[in-house]
Amino acid sequence: MQKMALLSHAAERVGSDSLKKWELVGSGGFGDVYKARHKDWGFDVAIKLLRDGVGCYASPLLPKENALFEEVNHMDKVSCEFVLRVYGIYEGNTPCGGLSMQTGIVMEFMSRGSVQDLLKELCAPPPWPLAFRLAHQVALGMNFLHSRDLMHHDLKPSNVLLNDDLNAKLADFGLSRVSTSALNSSEERTGEVGGTYKYMPPEAFDASYEPVRAFDRYSYGILLWCIVTGNEPYPMAGNSLVALRIPKGDRPSCEKINQREVEGLEELVDLMKMCWDGNPAKRPAFKECLEVTQEGFSKHKKGIHVAVHHVLTRLESHTSNQYSNRSVPLSFSPQTPEQSKSHDKKDPVRVTQTEKKSISDSEETLSDTDKAKFIDDNRAVLIQDVSEVMAIVDELGDMVHSETYSVIDTIQTSQEKMRVLFLRTFRSGGVTVKAAFYTVLKRHQPKLVERLSGTY
């Protein structure tokens, strides 16, 4: 009766006899997640089960099953393409759980894991088009949650899941207050009010704090930093140090984020900093965040299909051991920018518009032959100054032979990568490839092209 009281309607019941091909695919602060094939539906689903001993700080006497039913109620209220879909309640035995009956949630299965998984696989951030799309889709999902008077309380990379096409959906917002971690890692330990320490706002470390929407806005700021840099915040800090330093104003470092070579990045970083402001009242609502993320993604939308294709190709090749050097990270160098030599601030709108106009005007007068001549004439400078080689190579796609791609990927320096491009790809591909390289280079490093343009 206590279970049913938490349900808003008669949820679909799924028993063990309806499922086959069980496979443990993940663990988290709540417990375990299995993938299983539903015999009647014909597709894979995810089964989330709480482990024994997992409690709920918000209601210490509440049975673990009730936390699951509470999440079903929450997820049932948010039918949205950016929030994970729930199919019903699982009740039965699992192949790994012995004879005891277990209760869980039957959810949409996200085949590509989480943003955290993606960043670990790539050993770097995603290419810019995908990074901007992830930032926007998370903001869309969070805006929808808040519009339904729901808060997440544990927004972080591992709770943003990815489908086959690397589109993002929010998960685990109903279990954010299930605080005893099922992981051995202290990095995933949650606080009493819900949330993971490194993603919690400074006010949340006050014992009397009660979460409000500003909690999620802060977490979103830290999440943006993770997406843009590809790193985990405060990697060397334990929870006690995080709890001490965050209220004192410490935040992840932004020194290595280049805000000048990528359109929309400066605005995204500004949004990031507003979201993690120490004053909750100054953090923008997600509806305001959407204005920035929509604008940023629109600048890179044309490249999203190429970016997704190449990320998926890299992930598949990594899984199948296509490349012999397993120690080489699956990196995308556009997100590992060089530190700016100058800290002088410029008007981002004026600079962007001026750069776009001057370079696009020059491109209108260039034929493919002229573009190829530009590449040949500036060979020495391009080898020295092109820093975003892998991002450009990714956009060139099949123009770069897979063997050449593998060689370039194993090289550590941008200069050596460029030399291989000139010796192999440009030599064999001729005018067509050089012209394509010029076009992509113009998008990634407009100042470099403008500086070298001269009479072109």
Q: Does a structural domain hold residue 392?
A: yes
Q: Does a structural domain hold residue 339?
A: no
Q: Can you give 103-156 as a three-state secondary structure string? A: EEEEEECCCCCEHHHHHHHHCCCCCHHHHHHHHHHHHHHHHHHHHCCCCCCCCC
* pLDDT over threshold 60, residue 153: yes
Residue 138 and residue 273 in one domain:
yes
**Are the C-beta atoms of 185 and 196 separated by less than 8 Å?**
no
Q: Does a structural domain hold residue 99?
A: yes
Q: What is the pLDDT of residues 365-407, one digit of tens each?
A: 688 888 999 998 899 899 989 998 999 998 888 888 887 888 8
Phi, psi dihedrals of residue 384, rounded to the nearest 5°: -80, -35
Residue 128 and residue 240 in one domain:
yes
Q: Does a structural domain hold residue 310?
A: no
Residue 51 and residue 69 in one domain:
yes
Q: What is the pLDDT of residues 429-443, one digit of tens each?
A: 888 899 999 999 998
Residue 181 and residue 138 in one domain:
yes
* Count of domains observed in the chain: 3
Provide mean pLDDT across the span 348-366.
Answer: 40
To the nearest whole number, what is the mean pLDDT of the chain?
78
Share of the chain above pLDDT 90, in %: 36
Q: What is the CATH number of the domain that holds 73?
A: 3.30.200.20
Residue 48 known to bind ligand: yes
**What pLDDT does residue 114 have?**
93
Provide mean pLDDT across the span 119-135.
Answer: 93
Provide mean pLDDT across the span 109-121.
Answer: 92
Q: What is the pLDDT of residues 40-68, one digit of tens each?
A: 998 999 988 876 544 433 344 345 556 56
Residue 65 and residue 173 in one domain:
no
* pLDDT over threshold 60, residue 327: no
Residue 175 and residue 155 in one domain:
yes
Cα of 400 vs its chain's centroid, Å: 27
Q: Does a structural domain hold residue 333?
A: no
Least confident of 202-216, 258-272, 290-304: 258-272
Residue 290 and residue 376 in one domain:
no
**What pLDDT does residue 5 have?**
32
**What pLDDT does residue 119 have?**
93
**How many CB atoms neighbour CB 26 within 10 A?**
16
β-pairing, 160-162 with 168-170? antiparallel
Is position 154 annotated as part of the catalytic site?
yes
Residue 354 and residue 449 in one domain:
yes
Q: Does a structural domain hold residue 311?
A: no
**What pLDDT does residue 341 have?**
35
**What pLDDT does residue 302 have?**
92
Of 40, 149, 154, 216, the catalytic one is 154
**What pLDDT does residue 87 have?**
86
- Is the pTM above the cut of 0.75? no
Which of 47-51, 94-98, 107-111 is modeled with the greatest confidence? Answer: 107-111
**Are the C-beta atoms of 279 and 202 separated by less than 8 Å?**
no
Comparison of pLDDT for 113 and 223, the residue scoring more: 223
Residue 291 and residue 390 in one domain:
no
**What pLDDT does residue 258 have?**
66
**What pLDDT does residue 340 have?**
34
**Are the C-beta atoms of 393 and 444 separated by less than 8 Å?**
no
Q: What is the CATH number of the domain that holds 223?
A: 1.10.510.10
Provide mean pLDDT across the span 337-345.
Answer: 36
As a whole number of angstroms, the distance between CA 325 and CA 238 comes to 33
**What pLDDT does residue 329 have?**
35
Residue 102 and residue 123 in one domain:
no
Residue 259 — very low, low, confident or very high, per pLDDT cuts 50/70/90? Answer: low
Residue 406 and residue 439 in one domain:
yes
Q: Does a structural domain hold residue 153?
A: yes
**What pLDDT does residue 315 have?**
86
Residue 294 and residue 354 in one domain:
no
**What pLDDT does residue 71 have?**
61
Of 302, 332, 361, the position where a domain reaches its end is: 302
**Strand-by-strand arrangement of the 19-27 sheet:** 13-15, 86-92, 102-108, 44-50, 31-38, 19-27
Of 287, 302, 317, the position where a domain reaches its end is: 302
Comparison of pLDDT for 278 and 322, the residue scoring more: 278
Comparison of pLDDT for 116 and 104, the residue scoring more: 116
Q: Does a structural domain hold residue 418?
A: yes
Residue 145: name the closest of 226, 71, 89 by CA. 71
Joined together, the tokens standing for residue 361 give 């005007």
Of 273, 302, 331, the position where a domain reaches its end is: 302
* pLDDT over threshold 50, residue 344: no
Per the structure, the complete domain to which residue 439 belongs is given by 346-453
- Within 8 A by CB and 6+ apart from 66, the residues are 2, 3, 6, 56, 59
Share of the chain above pLDDT 70, in %: 73
